[in-house]
Amino acid sequence: MLRSKRPDSRRPSFRLPSIFNGSRTVLPRGCKYNIADLELILSPDVDPESFGNEAPRDGDEAAWETLYRYADEMKALAAKHGVEMRSLQCLGQVDTWPEGSDREKWGFAKAIHWITLCHHLGLEFCQVGVNDQYEATAPFGKTVADLGYIADEAAKQNVKIAYESWNFAPRMSQWEGTWNVVKAAVGYAAG
């Protein structure tokens, strides 16, 4: 059974079945999950949400392989509790980095891992948030190209991308900005 390997102060007796059961009562037809809900099956020093925000470390790939390995068990738990999983959120800091930079390379690797996890979980969407880092300063066209690349990679695994504005982001903090990116990326598997 999937259980936390680290304590969670908000939910001292955290177990994934309780999340699935609670989701069924709140969102009976389908739901999205935060990567933080899934990372609790990993060791305390692994954080898939920040994976790709810095140089790769020993153990990063093993952490992703662990998440992929548990995907069937997570799907079975969702089915047992009558919950339809639809998307995983929120993949961030993967676009708008200067072309050819380490951050660009790490961000794309992070996106591929998230998309692969969505594929293993049988999810329709991977939710991507705009980059909230002040150092992410590439022009609009680069952001469109990045989203297009991520969407193309997702389409190869039968996953769609949902692009989300974040009100705390220094750029594109309103829905109109993200909608302009999505419109410019038409033809990709983004929406």
* pLDDT (tens place) for every residue of the chain, 191 residues total: 444 344 444 443 345 666 666 655 555 455 555 665 565 555 555 566 676 677 888 878 888 888 898 889 888 888 888 888 888 887 888 999 999 999 999 999 999 999 999 999 999 999 999 999 999 999 999 999 999 999 999 999 999 999 998 888 888 888 899 999 988 886 554 54
Q: What is the pLDDT of residue 158?
A: 96
Cα(31)–Cα(122) distance, rounded to whole angstroms? 13
The pLDDT assigned to 152 comes to: 93
pLDDT at 116: 96
Q: Which amino acid is at 120?
A: H
pLDDT for 8: 46
What is the distance between the alpha carbons of residues 16 and 21, in angstroms, rounded to a whole number? 9
128 DSSP β-pair partners: 91, 163
CATH T-level fold of 23-184: TIM Barrel (3.20.20)
Q: Label residues 162-186 b or e (16+ Cβ within 10 Å = b).
A: bbbbbeebebbeeeebbeebbebbe
> Structural domain boundaries of the chain?
23-184
Give me the helices (H) in 11-167, please: 16-26, 35-39, 60-69, 71-80, 102-121, 140-156
Q: pLDDT value at position 13?
A: 38
